[in-house]
C-alpha cells in the first residue's frame, strides 16, 4: 500500500548530461511513484527535450542554450506552479528509505518543523558497481546492506540532495537565492536563511544515497570568478540580522514574492 502524500509535490529540476543521469532520474521517479501517492513535477531546461511525460504528472520543458544549468531560478519557478501545502525539493540522483520521507512529512504536518531533511546528514555516494546491482534488483536493501562500502560526499552534516518544506514558509524565507548561478554554496546559504529567520529544521534518522553519475560542467563551480562570487554572497547573507534578511528577501525578484 502506498503512503498518502497527496499534500506534497516532488519538484525535480533536470538537465540530462549523461546516460547515467537519465537512468537515475527515471529510477528516482519510479521510486517515488512506487512508494507514495503524490504529485511529481519535473522541469527540464536544455537544448533538446528528453521525454519523461509517461512517467510523471507534470513535465515542463524550457528551451535553454546556456551551458550552465540555472537551478535556483528554475526551482523558484517550479515552486510557484505547484499547489500543495508542502514541496519536496529533490535532486535527480538521490534516494532515501521511504520511512524517512514519511517521518519528515509528518513533522511538517504536525507543525513541529518548517523544513525537514529526510536524512540525518550522511550523503553517501553509491559507486557504479553497487548502483548497477541496485538497478538490477530494484531493492533498497542493496544500498542499506552495503552502507559500509559507501563514502560520504560532504562529511556528516550535508544540507544538499533533498529537503521537504512548508511551501508558504519556503516562499516567505526567499526560496532560492538566484545570485547563485550554477553549482555551489546555495544549499548552505539557504539553510542559513532558515536559521536567521528562526525556522524549525528537522532531520530524519538515516542516510541519503547518491547514485553515481559522471561529474560534468554542472557539478562544479562555473569558474573561479563565480566561485568567489558565491562564497562572498554566502558570507554576506550570514551576517544579516532577522530584520535585515526580511528586507533583503523582500527586495528580490517579484516572482520570488508571490
The whole-number pLDDT of residue 17 equals 87
Contact 154, 120 (CB under 8 A): no
d(Cα 66, Cα 85) in Å, to the nearest integer?
32
Q: What is the mean pLDDT of residues 35-63?
A: 89
- For the chain, percent of residues with pLDDT exceeding 70: 95
Per-residue pLDDT band for 57 (boundaries 50, 70, 90) equals confident
Q: What is the mean pLDDT of residues 80-84?
A: 93
The whole-number pLDDT of residue 223 equals 80
Per-residue pLDDT band for 214 (boundaries 50, 70, 90) equals confident
Write down the H helix ranges in 111-238: 128-137, 141-145, 167-172, 186-196, 224-238
The whole-number pLDDT of residue 224 equals 85
The whole-number pLDDT of residue 220 equals 55
Residue 121 pLDDT > 70, yes or no? yes
Helix axes 224-238, 186-196, angle to 10 degrees: 10
- For the chain, percent of residues with pLDDT exceeding 90: 79
| DSSP 8-state class, residue 154 | B
Cα 108 vs. chain centroid, distance in angstroms? 17
Residue 94 pLDDT > 70, yes or no? yes
The whole-number pLDDT of residue 100 equals 98
Nearest to 143 by CA among 133, 153, 151: 133
* Cell output for 104: 519528515
E strand map for the chain: 3-14, 36-46, 58-63, 86-90, 94-95, 115-117, 123-126, 151-152, 162-166, 201-203, 208-211
Tell me the DSSP string of 161-194: SEEEEEHHHHHHTTSS-TT--SSSSHHHHHHHHH
- 42 or 227: which carries more pLDDT confidence? 42
Mean pLDDT taken over the chain: 92
Radius of gyration of the chain, Cα coordinates, nearest whole angstrom: 17
> pLDDT of 164-203, one tens digit each?
999 999 999 999 999 999 877 899 999 999 999 999 999 9
Nearest to 161 by CA among 12, 4, 3: 12
Per-residue pLDDT band for 256 (boundaries 50, 70, 90) equals very low
The whole-number pLDDT of residue 217 equals 61
* Cell output for 107: 513533522
CB-hemisphere CA count at 13 Å for 137? 12
Q: Of the spans 65-74, 182-191, 216-225, which averages the highest pLDDT?
A: 65-74
Residue 29 pLDDT > 90, yes or no? yes
Domains, in order of start, for the chain: 3-257 (3.90.550.10)
| DSSP 8-state class, residue 9 | E
Amino acid at each position: 500500500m502506498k503512503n498518502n502524500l497527496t499534500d506534497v509535490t516532488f519538484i525535480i529540476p533536470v538537465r540530462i548530461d549523461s546516460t547515467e543521469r537519465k537512468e537515475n532520474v527515471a529510477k528516482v521517479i519510479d521510486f517515488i511513484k512506487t512508494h507514495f501517492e503524490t504529485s511529481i513535477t519535473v522541469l527540464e531546461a536544455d537544448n533538446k527535450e528528453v521525454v519523461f511525460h509517461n512517467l510523471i504528472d507534470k513535465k515542463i520543458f524550457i528551451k535553454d542554450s546556456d551551458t550552465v544549468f540555472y537551478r535556483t531560478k528554475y526551482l523558484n519557478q517550479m515552486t510557484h506552479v505547484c499547489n500543495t501545502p508542502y514541496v519536496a525539493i529533490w535532486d535527480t540522483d538521490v534516494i532515501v528509505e521511504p520511512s524517512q520521507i514519511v517521518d519528515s512529512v509528518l513533522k511538517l504536518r504536525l507543525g513541529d518543523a518548517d523544513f525537514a531533511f529526510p536524512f540525518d546528514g550522511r550523503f553517501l555516494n553509491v559507486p557504479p558497481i553497487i548502483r548497477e546491482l541496485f538497478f538490477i534488483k530494484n531493492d533498497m536493501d542493496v544500498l542499506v546492506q552495503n552502507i559500509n562500502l559507501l563514502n560520504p560526499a560532504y562529511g556528516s552534516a550535508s544540507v544538499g540532495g533533498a529537503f521537504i518544506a512548508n511551501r508558504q514558509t519556503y516562499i516567505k524565507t526567499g526560496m532560492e537565492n538566484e545570485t547563485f548561478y550554477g553549482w555551489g554554496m546555495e544549499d548552505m546559504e539557504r539553510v542559513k536563511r532558515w536559521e536567521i529567520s528562526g525556522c524549525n529544521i528537522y532531520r530524519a534518522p538515516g542516510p541519503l544515497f547518491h547514485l553515481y553519475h559522471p561529474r560534468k560542467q554542472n557539478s562544479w563551480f562555473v569558474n573561479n570568478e563565480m566561485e568567489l562570487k558565491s562564497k562572498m554572497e554566502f558570507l554576506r547573507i550570514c551576517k544579516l540580522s532577522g530584520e535585515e534578511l526580511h528586507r533583503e528577501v523582500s527586495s528580490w525578484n517579484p516572482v520570488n514574492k508571490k
